[in-house]
Amino acid sequence: MGGKSPGRRIKRGPTLAERADRHRLYQDSVQCPEEDVTFYTSVFGKLRGGRRPMILREDFCGTANLAVQWCLSDPKRRAIGIDLDEPTLAWGREHNIRPHARKLGNRLKLYRANVLDPRREKADVTCACNFSFCIFKERADLKRYLKLAKEGLKQNGLLFLEIYGGSEAIIATEEDRECGRYEYVWDQHSYNPITNETVCHIHYRFRDGSTLERAFTYDWRLWSIPELRDLLLEVGFSDVRVFWEQLEDTDDDQVEEGEMIYGSGEYEDVTGKEVEQQESFLVYVVGVR
């Protein structure tokens, strides 16, 4: 008999992107909670006469990765995590809290709640990491949040606000970074200079060619350091400090054009100093109660 033999379909398994856990990827590629705990403790000690902060409130806590690490750093420490997204909180309970349940005991409390809701618990340190407070686009809303954050601090407490900026922060661009088994992509998708609103995405690209597109999307207003400082003073903070991330040590003659220079993870108190503009920078604006 003539004709061709029928072709056989090759059954393929799921791609690396299809098997990926976006929360795990985020924690591994974006967060470094151990360094955050060390930084908050150091700054608090310097500004508060060597005292050691014991209670952390993590606003917009997501998977509560930082809150867990805070409690693990000292058996006497306690933490409060607040976030609106219940599925993300549930992931954190299962993957971050449950493995350490014995050590944590009842020292960590997670709330599915709005950070604009007043809370009775008072913290030594409150933080809003990874630019999360930029969800507030109106000045009145951000001012309300900062006022409530101040009221939620103990008398000598500190509020840490992480923000980014620089000459490239207001242009549409992509930044790729190798993370071992995958590539992390920060996508500044759009920016509106009239409102300072920006839309950003995080993508992940894998060795098999698959991509997890828009694993996370952010619709923010990019606040400036002076705006934050003015608002913090308006709501009653006694002082505002600016901690600027230092760049990695590099030999300028060895850096090729277009090559990325990353932050070192070390921060310098630059309050009152003149700082040279950079293409990209990370800072903590710290409200001192």
**Residues whose CB falls within 8 Å of the CB of residue 88, separated by 6 or more in sequence, listed in order:** 23, 62, 63
* Amino acid, res. 138: E
The pLDDT of residue 251 is: 54
pLDDT, one tens digit per residue, over 25-63 is 999 999 999 999 999 999 999 999 999 999 999 999 999
Q: SS3 of 62, please?
A: coil
How many other C-beta atoms lie within 10 A of the C-beta of residue 126? 28
Answer whether 240's CB lies under 8 Å from 285's CB. Answer: yes
- The answer, yes or no, to whether residue 258 has pLDDT greater than 60, is no
Mean pLDDT of all residues belonging to the chain:
93
| β-pairing verdict for 197-206 and 211-221 | antiparallel
Give 220's strand partners. 198
* Amino acid, res. 248: E
Domains of the chain: 16-165+223-288 (3.40.50.150), 173-213 (no CATH)
Best CA proximity match to 156, nearest among 46, 271, 268: 46
Q: Report CA Rg, the chain.
A: 22
Residue 250 host element (H or E) = none
Tell me the backbone φ, ψ of residue 171, rounded to 5 degrees.
-125, 155
Distances (CA, A) of 127 to 63, 173, 181, 265: 14, 28, 30, 17
Total-model pTM:
0.91
